[in-house]
Structure 1
Amino acid sequence: MYDKTMKRIEGQENDDVQLAKMTSIPLTALELRQALAIERDTVESDEKALPDGDLVISVCGGLVIINQETDVICLTHYTTQEYLKRHQDEHFPTAQRGSSRTCLIYLSLNVFFSDHVSNDGEQVAILERNIFLDYASRSWDIHAAGESEDGPNIQ
C-alpha cells in the first residue's frame, strides 16, 4: 500500500512532489508552511509564499494529517514512519541536507538582522510571526550531521 502511495506522490507535478517530500518533520501547520516557503534565494519572509495547508495535506497522498488539538502535521499511522524509515534512501536520499539547508536559510532571513527594531515589543512581534525560528535554530545542525557519517554536507 505504501509503495503505491509513494508512486502516486512521485507521479505528481515536480513542485508537489518536492512539497510532499519536505513534509516529513512533525511541525505545526504554520511552522511547516513557513519552512516550505523557503527557497535557496529567500532573504525575506513572505506571507504570500506560504503554501496552503490543505495543499500540503493533499500532495502527501493521505500519509499525513493535522492533529486538530495540537495543530501538528503528523503521519497517519506508526507503520507509515516505519515504512518511510526503511525506504528513506530510496524516497528521501537528500532529506537531511535539504532540511538543514532550509533551516540555515531561514535563520539568515533579513528580518532577524534588522537594525530598525527599537523595542522589545517589536522583537516579540517578529518572533511571533516567524515561529519556524525555534525549530530552525535548534535543529539545523542535527539535520546536517544526519546526512552522512562524515559530517555535514550542505550545498
Structure 2
Amino acid sequence: MSRIEGLVAEIVDVFGEKTSFISAVYFIKRRFYLFGGALGLIMGLPLRDFFFFLLAGGLTSLAVYASAEHYLFKIDHIFFSSSGRSKREIFGKYYANEIGRGLSLRMTEPENLVGSEGRAIEETRSLFQQRLAVELDREFKRSDWRYFVAACLYCQK
C-alpha cells in the first residue's frame, strides 16, 4: 500500500462517511471568493446596487472562509488527538522512510563516497543516524500541518 493510500485509510477509519464532506468543505475554503461573489451577485442584482453587491460578497466570503477554516481545524484536532495518530507518529509512519531513503541516496553520491573513504563502517552509520535525526526534525518542522486531513483527502482524488 502506498504512503498516501495508507494515510487515507487511517483518515477513513477515524471519520468514516464524513470524508466526502470534509473534501467538499476544503474545496469551498479554497474557492471561498467564488461563493461570496455569487451570493453577492444574487443579492446585488435585484437591488441594482453595486455597493450592496460588494458588501454582501465580501461579508459572505469572510463568513465562508472563517467557518470552513474553523471546521477544518476541528477535524485536524480530532484526527491528531485520536490514539496513535499524533503529528509525530503520522510523520514517522508515512514520511520518515522516504526522508531516510533520500538521505541515503545523497550519501552514496560520488563526492560523498570519496569523503567517507577513510571512515570505518560504524562511524559512517553513526554519521548517517545523526544526519537522519537532523533531517527528520527539519522536515517535521517544515511540514504544513494546517488542514492536513482535508489536504490528504483532496490529494487522493
TM-score, normalized by the shorter chain, greater than 0.5? no
Q: TM-score normalised to the size of structure 1?
A: 0.28
Higher gyration radius (CA):
2
Q: TM-score normalised to the size of structure 2?
A: 0.28
Higher strand proportion: 1
Higher helix proportion: 2
* Higher RCO (C-alpha 8 Å, min separation 6): 2
